[in-house]
Chains A and B, each alone.
Chain A
Amino acid sequence: MNDLTPSNGGCRSAPVLKERGQREVFCGLTGIIWLHRKMQDAFFLVVGSRTCAHLLQSAAGVMIFAEPRFGTAILEETDLAGMKDAHVELDREVARLLARRPDIRQLFLVGSCPSEVIKIDLSRAAERLSQIHAPHVRVLNYSGSGIETTFTEGEDACLACMVPVLKTTEARELLVVGALPDVVEDQMLALLSDMGVGPVRLLPARRIDDTTAVGPNTVFALVQPFLGETHSALERRGARHLAAPFPFGDEGTTAWLRAIATEFGVSDETFEAVTAAPRARARKAIAQAAEVLRGKSVFFFPDSQLEIPLARFLTRECGMTAIEVGSPYIHDALHGPDLDLLPAGPQISEGQDVDKQLDRARAARPDLTICGLGLANPLEAEGLSTKWAIELVFTPVHFYEQAGDLAGLFSRPLRRKAVLHLEAAE
């Protein structure tokens, strides 16, 4: 991939501004909102406070009314005072839940800040409940607490807790890791299959009965940049990571597929034959949306760890200039290939002191600011155009066919600013 490296050098060795202070980010519990859609036989039971339930309700919006497969076991005073055995309480709630929802095959006990601070041993609870409800239901545990996880790290923690219980295999298989919208996942599987790469396993699989397995001959590719823990857990099982840029835009998707093609000995001819048409489509679609973006500056507040690969896409394929690229966490093995491709120039920052970062954004007056919903309207009121970041996690944005939509998500706020004329005619 050396041919893609920008002429002014990439950002991999750029000094990173590391900040600590107030963070305006979601906690890992939010991952449940999209994970439960993906894993159709799973239920996510948060053990936490009313705040946790309120967060899920606020983040899920109208989804909360669709009998979702998640809920919160709210801790009450008696649970804290030790007047009731938390484990007995939990067993009772789980039994009630599973009786009401017999379609559930996997149950995740999700730790929260309150449950972590009072140290309810949810891993022991998961083992015990697994035994009680075996073989029909598998119970696992991970933490989505704010004190340990930021937003998308919740998915990481969830997938990482599944790795140790995956079946073992000696087969040389490709494992693709990260939850993708079904439509995107199908496109990816079709591309890999057309190149003759297979069998391809998925983590997470759509249902528990699927045959995801791992072993020393497994190679895995990540489709999401926030999977650091899962990456380590898979390596502990002997699997090998295929480092690659993340599949956003034409370049990202091609580089990602190329890394797999090289590993599985796919000929250049085949690779070209499979990717030429969708690449051309992607380039054409991006070009349309990018007209508005070309020459504009962009500022990323930290949110999802998608910031670095998206900055790479916006700068290289849409002609934008990055001023600051903030990420809640930067993992060299995961973000490195994208940092290599990101043209030198932007301030790379890790962590957050939100007031200081807002000062920097105000001083820079970027044309487009990528930030959370708590900041978006206030910044719009200050005259900055914003794109709220959460949409990038919920909307299909990966791979070729979505490349135009991805650019469109960023161009729309700028187009809207241009079309609105609300002042008086004089």
Chain B
Amino acid sequence: MKLTVWTYEGPPHVGAMRVATAMKGLHYVLHAPQGDTYADLLFTMIERRNHRPPVSYTTFQARDLGADTATLFKKSCQDAVDRFQPEAIIVGASCTAELIQDDPAGLSETMGLSIPVIPLELPSYSRKENFGADETFYQIVKALAKPQDRTGRVTCNILGPTALGFRARDDVEELTGLLSDLGVQVNVVAPLGATPSDIARLPAAHFNVLLSPETGEAAARWLEKTYAQPFTKIVPIGVGATRDFIAEVGDIIGKPVLIDESRLRMPWWSRSVDSTYLTGKRVFIFGDGTHVAAHARIARDEMGFEVVGIGCYNREMARPVRALAKAYGLEALITDDYLEVEAAIEALSPEMILGTQMERHIGKRLGIPCAVISAPVHVQDFPARYSPQVGFEGANVIFDTLIHPLVMGLEEHLLTMFRDDFEFHDDAGASHHGGKAKAKVEAVAEEAPAPQEDNIIWLSDAEKELKKIPFFVRGKARRNTENYAAEKGLSQISLDTLYEAKAHYAR
């Protein structure tokens, strides 16, 4: 047993739902107790879908336990087929049904349904959501793909985008445009938007673009082995990665490709003098393996940040993320325990976090700016506006996303610097919130210096000076100074100690 409050990933059957909901003409019959329908609202609320996910739940209850649940399962299958008339169904069990050992595969086979029935084995107690999506998509492809001739023109499939995928909708659009510029037509995008008959057409493409390794790699590998379709290894997130991806596609299709970069604004924005202050900003990067890898490169090579921590929550990507971290001279943090992530962030005290919804909240608590780069995400990261991550427009979007929290940070810093100004004192509140400002009350008496845990005392001059340091590095400055004082055996921190420590730790 393991005590958990936050989970980065849901159970594997939620991954299967992400594939089923992404597709059309496919129905998922899920052997599950009353209550598991909660997952529907991830799709109808977070992703704001205008239809129910194509999932039928058997909704067994305590009184059904025993032989009855098998009958219930068969009835649900039949009802789903009759009502929704899908081209194919996938069947499986949620974590509770896994325990009662009805066999969805065997049960559905005996029913003699006229459409393909694809059984799923998703081990709920050892694997998670991304595995569920990857495995489900693989099983669907394996069951439905048909041998056929290649298309006359050069075409490819885009593999991996699912429902509830971080920016999947716009990534597909951006990637389709990019490929079209390269003279490559898209044969099938799957699972997002594909029908079972589209899946059957996958082998007609010349190669596959693996957009999301987390949810499409098993299928890509199987198609490579079975139908000799190579798949791309570079996910085109970031300027460099996009250019490498273009070269990779050129190699696959066997001709050099040139592309119009006139829409790409990110490199100039990053070179312009306004961006100089980004240099060497210490960032911590956490999320799913794919997005972390992409953002590490962006952060170091395209934004000029210093990457101080790298990690991912999905064990499936542990190996590449470890290798990547090593290349950055770091030790990767592979964990799905947010407390470990929080501890790592606290210890490193970065100036910025690139992470998930969880890291956004950790950042909020620690007062560190954060940008969201990976699932799990909340409703605000399924935006109405066009906001891809991949390709050239994706690079533009990412530049804006990464600097916004920092610009805000700079604004706040300026306000703090002028905190002794009559207009910008602590109680004035943020100017854009309005109506909150209170008149400044002059401090009545000088506070006594606060004793520190390790009995190092901050003299009031030093304490005052500390407050002038930007809030997002103040904690680090405090700790560094205290460590320095402890090393030197000082019991008091004066203004001089503060600046000696600053010089000592200067990079």
Contacts and interface: CB of A to CB of B under 8 A. Distances in A.
Contact of A73 (B2, B44, B48, B50): B2
Contacts of B124: 49-51
A89 B59 CA distance: 30
A27 B358 CA distance: 25
B50 A150 contact: no
B61 A148 contact: yes
Interface string B189-203: 000000000000000
A89 B35 contact: no
B36 to A, nearest CB: 7
Interface in A370-393: 372-378, 380-381
B38 A114 contact: no
A54 B10 contact: yes
B58 interface: yes
Nearest to B63: A147
Q: Which of A28, A58, A374 has the most CB of B within 10 A?
A: A374
A77 interface: yes
Q: Which 9 A-B pairs have the closest CB atoms?
A: A27-B35, A146-B35, A374-B40, A381-B50, A113-B96, A49-B95, A65-B361, A146-B33, A146-B34
Majority secondary structure of chain B interface residues (helix, strand, loop or mixed): mixed
A86 interface: yes
B14 to A, nearest CB: 7
A58 B6 CA distance: 10
12 contacts: A22-B58, A51-B11, A53-B5, A72-B5, A74-B1, A146-B35, A146-B96, A147-B65, A375-B52, A377-B45, A377-B48, A378-B50
Contact of B44 (A70, A96, A374): A374
Contact of A26 (B35, B83, B99): B35
B197 to A, nearest CB: 25
A55 interface: yes
Interface string A73-105: 111110110000010011011001100000000
B2 A25 contact: no
B128 A22 contact: no
Interface of B: 1-7, 9-11, 13-14, 33-42, 44-45, 48-52, 56-62, 64-65, 76, 79, 83, 94-96, 99-100, 123-126, 128, 358, 361, 364, 378
A22 B30 CA distance: 11
A72 B95 CA distance: 15
A68 interface: yes
A316 interface: no
A380 to B, nearest CB: 8
A378 B34 contact: no
A145 B33 contact: yes
Contacts of B56: 22
Contacts of A148: 61-62
A74 B336 CA distance: 13
A367 interface: no
Residue of B7, B49, B56 most packed against chain A (CB within 10 A): B7
Contacts of A49: 11, 95-96, 124-125
Contacts of B59: 21-23
A62 B5 CA distance: 12
Given A22-B56, A23-B37, A55-B38, A378 B51 contact: yes
A116 interface: yes
Interface in A122-169: 145-148, 150
A57 interface: yes
A76 B125 contact: yes
B239 to A, nearest CB: 33
Contact of A355 (B4, B36, B79): B79
Main secondary structure of the interface of A (DSSP, over half): helix
A343 interface: no
Q: Which of B9, B34, B99, B364 has the most CB of A within 10 A?
A: B34
B4 A74 contact: yes
A419 interface: no
A372 B52 CA distance: 12
Nearest to A117: B99
Nearest to A24: B37
A72 B7 CA distance: 10
B4 A377 contact: no
Contacts of A380: 50
A30 B44 CA distance: 18
Interface of A: 21-30, 45, 47, 49-51, 53-55, 57-59, 62, 64-65, 68, 70-77, 79-80, 86, 89-90, 92-93, 96-97, 113-114, 116-118, 145-148, 150, 355, 372-378, 380-381
Contacts of B61: 146-148
B83 A355 contact: yes
A80 B126 CA distance: 11
B1 A117 contact: no
Max count, chain B CB within 10 A of own CB: residue among A22, A77, A96: A22
Given A22-B58, A50-B9, A147-B65, 9 more contacts: A23-B59, A27-B33, A29-B35, A50-B10, A54-B10, A54-B14, A68-B5, A73-B1, A373-B41
Given A27-B34, A374-B52, A80 B3 contact: no
Contacts of A375: 44, 52
Nearest to A146: B35
B40 A24 contact: yes
A72 B3 contact: yes
Contacts of B33: 27, 113, 145-147
Given A77-B125, A77-B126, A55 B1 contact: no
A80 B1 contact: no
A25 B61 CA distance: 12
Nearest to B10: A54
Contact of A64 (B5, B11, B13): B5
A111 B507 CA distance: 54
A76 B34 contact: no
A100 B131 CA distance: 33
Which among A51, A375, A377 has the highest number of chain B CB atoms within 10 Å?
Answer: A51
A147 B44 contact: no
Contacts of B6: 57, 64-65
A73 B52 contact: no
B147 to A, nearest CB: 37
Which interface residue of B1, B56, B123 has the most chain A CB atoms within 10 A?
B1
A147 B7 contact: no
A80 B35 contact: no
A50 B7 contact: yes
Contacts of B99: 80, 114, 117-118
Contacts of B5: 53, 57, 64, 68, 70-72
Nearest to A25: B34
A22 B57 contact: yes
Contacts of A374: 37-38, 40-41, 44, 52
A150 B34 contact: yes
Contacts of A21: 59, 79
B1 A86 contact: yes
A55 B49 contact: no
B39 A50 contact: no
Contacts of A27: 33-36, 38
A96 B40 CA distance: 34
Nearest to B379: A61
A381 B51 contact: yes
